[in-house]
Amino acid sequence: MPMPATVTGPLLFLRQDVLVHLSDKGQAQYFGYRVKILDSSALQVGNIAIAWNPAAGAPIVHGISVLRDGQLVDVLKSASFEILRREDQLEAAMLDGMLTAVLRVPDLRVGDELDVQFTSFSRDPGLGPYDSGMLLLGQAPAPGRYRLRLSWDAGHEPRLRIAPDMTSAMVKQERALEFRFDNPALLSPPRDAPPRYLWQRAVEYSDFADWASLSRHFAPLYAKAATLAADSPIRREAARIAAAHTRPVDRAAAALKLVQQDVRYIYVGLNGGNVIPASADETWKRRYGDCKGKTALLLALLAELGIEAEAVLINADGNDDGLDQRLALPQVFDHVLVRARIDGQRYWLDGTLPAVATPSAQPVFPVGWVLPLTPAGSALEQLPWRPATVPDTINLFEIDARAGFDTPPRVVTTEIIRGVKGLQNQLQFAAINAPQLLDGFRQNAIGEFWQTIDDVQWRYDQKAGASVLTISGTARMTWDDDDSGGKSLALPGGGFSPPDRRARSPGPNQNAPYYSKPEYICHVTTVRLPTSTKPEQWSSKPSYDNRLFGRHYHRAWEIRDGAIRMIRGSRVERPETDAASAERDNARIAKFDNSMGWIFYDPAGRKAAVGKGETVPATYDLDWTADNVPCVSPERPQTGTP
């Protein structure tokens, strides 16, 4: 690209080429660029790193040079690559065997043009003759000239899915597609749209005809890995489980716990293990494995126990919205687990989770689409979404102010967390003994809120599937005074912030739905009032129920037995809101009650104004780990397909 008269930014790509070629040897990816360095902040482009899997073959460096004042300098005459074996995610117990070659271009200066060209190769033994992948141009590329090209040998033409925003730049050839851009514009997805709208400027290619063919391809890998040797010790483990438990669901739970507890997690991507599971016998012998190996081991145990089960691919990060609109790409999955059918019910079993995670009716991860692996081939399957029936997080505050306004109150807080975050807490807190836990919170939590901490208790409630953390002590809590001798206090967890207005600037997808990430949060606060006061001297901010943009907002109050009780819940009941409904809700934001959860004391003894006749439980009235806590009003929730 000719150097323009004016250019903004720290660098300019005079050219950047990403070329992918498909053949019977797999994929070859050429990456070449010449970049003009315009600011010192861009000098880091001189740190060149090339990563590759040794099983696919070493990369080829075609050249690295620097153009300065019309002179071309061959960098490789004075510098060389250093080859590293580094496991970037070793702390997460992940071994992938990747090699990295690094080179730091010496004497690179502002005004230089750096030219880099290399080719790398990829072939996964587990995918056999099937190739797949994506060509992507980012949402905000630096100024310059870009070329993306996909080519193939005869007989290797893949299936293609080309995003609409790529078609205008497409040039078709006999066995290739090419896309050229000069100074590509900033491309922003529609604001607050569902995640599927993030798929932009992408070209997908795949040799898999559909999701069923992908399912058929992977199923034999797990069937083979789950086949046990005649003298396998796993058979004895299964017999021991069968002797100890009579019900199939209890046997499945025991098999799952065995895999979780007796086989530690290590991701193994070595020697073609990126998609090929290690055998159940091998995983049991070495007592470690990744999600693939643990799944194969669990399938083997369940088969010995006579329990029907299958491996299922998922995206554990929740990045599967719109997956049904994509080509069949194995790269969109990052996890595999087991789905079993027991007594007519489906149960999900994940051998990589802590041993407190039992067979469940839904996966722990926020999954929308799954791919069961079956010999006949299964289609992509959507898991039905429903509003949560129990909160993801409950925060309980019990404030004992009976000693008076001027005495620091005794406070007990309890945090109940379910799902992935609850299991993360389990991993963190289970490794700490009680004295260490107490000392840690005293060191880090005492300050603005906590004045003293007397006790910290943590447990994982397996029946509720929840981490439960309770802290007790005294807190700094200041009552505000007014001119008439009254007092007021803003309760922790008592207020809502109004939702943002949902609107977009003109552009494509203007009428895309607006998205709210599903969640259900509950705050319960109980204040034991000073014994020197009377109920008729107390009032509070009003109760309310409101629904905006698919979210239910609820707050209720009651004064009873010398205590003010407040409960506040927020639940997403419809993840997607159409543009017309969003516009109607925009007009309702102004009336949203965004006040904090204030309570008021008036010594003149006005008529009590706490709540609207609701019955509100105190923090000590209920088992808040139960599945029927009253955190939102019992009205029928909104429904809708996400």
* pLDDT bucket at 97, cuts 50 / 70 / 90: low
Q: What is the mean pLDDT of residues 464-486?
A: 93
Report the half-sphere exposure of 187 (CA within 13 A, side-chain side): 21
Q: Tell me how far the alpha carbon of residue 144 is from its chain's centroid.
A: 34
Q: Please tell me the predicted confidence (pLDDT) of residue 640.
A: 41
Average pLDDT over residues 505-514: 88
pTM listed for this prediction: 0.91
Maximum C-alpha span of the chain: 91
pLDDT score of 352:
94
Q: Residue 91 — pLDDT band, cuts 50, 70, 90?
A: very low
pLDDT at 271 over 60: no
Of residues 268 and 62, more confidently modeled: 62
Does pLDDT of 310 surpass 50?
yes
List pLDDT tens digits, range 202-229.
999 999 999 999 999 999 999 999 999 9
Give 606's pLDDT tier (boundaries 50, 70, 90): low
Q: DSSP letter for 81, please.
A: -
What whole-number distance in Å separates Cα of residue 257 and Cα of residue 131?
37
SS3 141: coil
The percent of residues in the chain predicted with pLDDT above 70, rounded, is: 95
CB burial of residue 385 (10 Å; 0-12, 13-18, 19+): middle
Residue 272 confidence (pLDDT): 46
With a cut of 90, say whether residue 123 has pLDDT above it: no
Q: Which residues contact 569 (CB under 8 A, 6 or more apart)?
A: 391, 520, 521, 522, 523, 552, 553, 554, 555, 631, 632
**pLDDT reported for residue 96:** 58
Res. 307 pLDDT band, cuts 50 70 90: very high
Pairwise CA distance, residues 494 & 395, whole Å: 11
β-strands 267-268, 94-95: how paired? parallel
Four-residue CA torsion sign, 438, 444, 445, 448:
positive
Write down all domains in the chain, each with its CATH number in brackets.
11-207 (2.60.40.3140), 212-382 (3.10.620.30), 478-497+513-613 (2.60.120)
CB neighbour class for 467 (10 Å; exposed up to 12, middle 13-18, buried from 19): buried
Q: Please calculate the CA angle 520-354-282 and round it to the nearest 5 degrees.
A: 140
Task: Round to whole Å and give the CA distance between 572 and 574.
Answer: 6
The Cα–Cα gap between 69 and 151 comes to 36
Q: Edge to edge, what strands does the sheet with 381-382 contain?
A: 345-349, 335-342, 308-314, 369-372, 381-382
Q: What is the DSSP string of 271-298?
A: TTTTTSPPPHHHHHHHTEE-HHHHHHHH
* Dihedral angle, C-alpha 131, 134, 135, 138, nearest 10 °: -160
Residue 57's pLDDT band, with cuts at 50, 70 and 90, is: confident
Say what the pLDDT of residue 268 is. Answer: 62
Least confident segment among 350-359, 417-426, 559-568, 589-598: 589-598
pLDDT at 446: 92
- Point out the least confidently predicted range of 76-85, 436-445, 455-464: 76-85
State the average pLDDT over residues 113-121.
Answer: 96
Mean pLDDT for 43-65 is 91
pLDDT of residue 639: 43
Checking if the pLDDT of 247 tops 80, the result is yes
CA distance linking residue 314 with residue 337, whole number of Å = 8
- Helix, strand or coil for residue 443? helix
* Residue pLDDT, tens place only, 24-34: 999 999 999 99
Positive or negative: CA dihedral 261, 267, 269, 273 = positive
Q: 598-601 and 538-540: which strand pairing? A: antiparallel
> What would the pLDDT profile of 376-407 be if each residue is shown by its tens digit?
999 999 999 999 999 999 999 999 999 999 99
pLDDT at 187: 86
Q: Number of C-alpha atoms within 13 angstroms, CB side, residue 585?
A: 20
The pLDDT of residue 619: 96
- Say how far apart CA 163 and CA 326 lie, in whole Å: 10
Alpha-carbon distances, residue 224 vs 107, 163, 252, 260, 618 (angstroms): 55, 38, 21, 21, 56
95: pLDDT strictly greater than 70: no
CA 467 – CA 416 distance, rounded (Å): 6
pLDDT in tens, 416-430: 999 999 999 999 999
* pLDDT band (50, 70, 90) for residue 21: very high
Does the pLDDT value for residue 19 go beyond 90?
A: yes
**Cβ 239 vs Cβ 68: under 8 Å:** no
Task: Answer whether 574's CB lies under 8 Å from 640's CB.
Answer: yes
Note whether 269 and 96 are within 8 A (CB): yes
Q: How confident is the model at residue 128 (pLDDT cuts 50, 70, 90)?
A: confident
CA distances from 181 to 20, 81, 283 (A): 17, 31, 49
Mean pLDDT of the chain: 92
- 420, containing H or E segment: helix 419-429
Tokens of 591: 């009336």
Q: If pLDDT is split at 50, 70 and 90, which confidence band does 52 have?
A: confident
Mean pLDDT for the stretch of residues 305-330: 95
| All residues at 6 or more sequence positions from 367 whose CB lies less than 8 Å from its CB, including other chains | 314, 315, 316, 318, 320, 383
Beta bridge partners of 110: none
Mean pLDDT of 262-277: 72
Type and span of the H or E element at 213 = helix 211-225
Please list the alpha-helical segments (H only) found in 279-396.
280-286, 291-304
Q: How distant, in Å, are the alpha carbons of 151, 162, 172, 548 from that of 145? A: 20, 20, 19, 45
Mean of the pLDDT values across residues 307-326?
A: 95
Q: How far apart are the first and last CA of the chain?
A: 45
- Assign 3-class secondary structure to 49-79: EEEECHHHCCCEEEEEEEEECCEEEEHHHCC
Q: How far apart are CA 123 and CA 24, in angstroms?
A: 10
